[in-house]
Each structure stands twice: as C-alpha cells, then as structure tokens.
Amino acid sequence: MSDAVPIPFHVAPRVILERLAALAAADCPRVVAITGPVGAGKSTLASLLSTCIVPTDAYLPDYDLVAPGERDLPHHADFPRLLADLRSLLSRRETRIPVWSFQTHKRTGETPRSPGDVIVLEGIHALHEPVLPLLDIKVYVDAPRGIRWSRWEHIERTGQRGMGVEPAREFFHNVAEPTFSRFESLYRARADVVVSNDEFMHEEVGI
C-alpha cells in the first residue's frame, strides 16, 4: 500500500501543482499520471490540471478483437503508440493521438493534441509499468463503488458517452470492476498522491 495519506478531491489540484512546482526546473514538460477505478473522477481531476490530457482509453483495443473479460487488461492496450505520443509531447511537438469511441468500442481516428508545460496521462492504465519512466507525479483517485456507478449511470442517462445504461451496468460489474481490482493494490502502492473522491459530482463530463 502507498504511504500517502488520502487527501480530499477539492484540494487535490492545489497539492499536485505545488508538488510539480517543487520539482527541479526542467527544459521539458512534466507528466502527471492519474489512475483509479471507473467513475473515480480521473477525467475531472485531469481537466483541473492541464489542457494537455492524454487518456489511456484512447489506446484501448478494438473490443471486437478481444474476449469480453479481457478488454480492459493492460497487455491488450497499445502502449508502444502511447509511449511514442507521450515522448512527442515531451519534445513540445503537436501530436495526433487516437480517438477511441465508446459507441463503437474501437479506434475511429485521430485528434491533435498541443503540448503543454504539464501533460496529464489519465486512465486505468496510467500507472502501468511501460509508462513509469516518463512520470513525474503519480496519482491514485478512489471513491466508493456505489458512488462510482452512480456517476457512470448519470453520464449514460444524459447521453454523454452513448454506451447505454444497461450495457454500461453490465460492463461496470462484469469487466471494469474485476479487471481493475487485479491491479488496484499495485497502482495504489505506486502513487505519490492518493485522492479520496466521495462526492457525486454529477456535473462532470468524464469519469
């Protein structure tokens, strides 16, 4: 387990940015990685830190090519492309990153991403081994399971993702939760900052 004492969500942006400021000056941008289970609030926290956000969801496999119970496993993610994109942004180059659709469950194209002084890598694979050498601060966001599902249900009911409530419910309970639980202790132990996010946050557009 991480030695980090959990901090509340509302102070997390300030704490993380202060930690970044305390690091030695560097010519290249800094990378903050944010992981946590589905619905923890990773996307919302990322949006409070930078406009240069790289979601690990963008590097998921085409679900049609992977058995249902394996779709979120990290060894199916496109880490070579993710590492190449992060290194490009660290070199301050505009970079085209994949677009992955929650409607079709596959990669549908690319989108430009402008570099920034802070690059945020956020998603379920953000603290997995291949990316660790590129990270400056590692963050784990957690929230109770019931609240996390409530957030995702709200997102689906309001059409923000388009997966549908019942497919999302089945995926949450049968794929997302059991898959992430296999890595939860490992990722939490790697975190420099642990964030507790137990409010509903229905105004958010990401989870």
Whichever domain contains 96, its CATH number is 3.40.50.300
The rounded distance, in Å, linking the Cα atoms of 37 and 143 is 8
Tell me, what amino acid is at 66?
A: V
Do the domain assignments include residue 203?
Answer: no
More confident residue, 79 or 204: 79
Q: Half-sphere exposure (CA, 13 Å, Cβ side) for 119?
A: 29
Do the domain assignments include residue 156?
Answer: yes
Do the domain assignments include residue 2?
Answer: no
Do the domain assignments include residue 1?
Answer: no
pTM of the predicted model, to two decimals?
A: 0.92
Q: Please choose, from the candidates 138, 204, 139, 207, the residue with its C-alpha nearest in 3D space to the C-alpha of residue 176.
A: 207
Do the domain assignments include residue 133?
Answer: yes
Do the domain assignments include residue 75?
Answer: yes
Q: What is the mean pLDDT of the chain?
A: 91
Which residue range forms the structural domain that includes residue 135?
7-21+28-196
Residue 26: is its pLDDT beyond 80? no
Number of domains the chain contains: 1
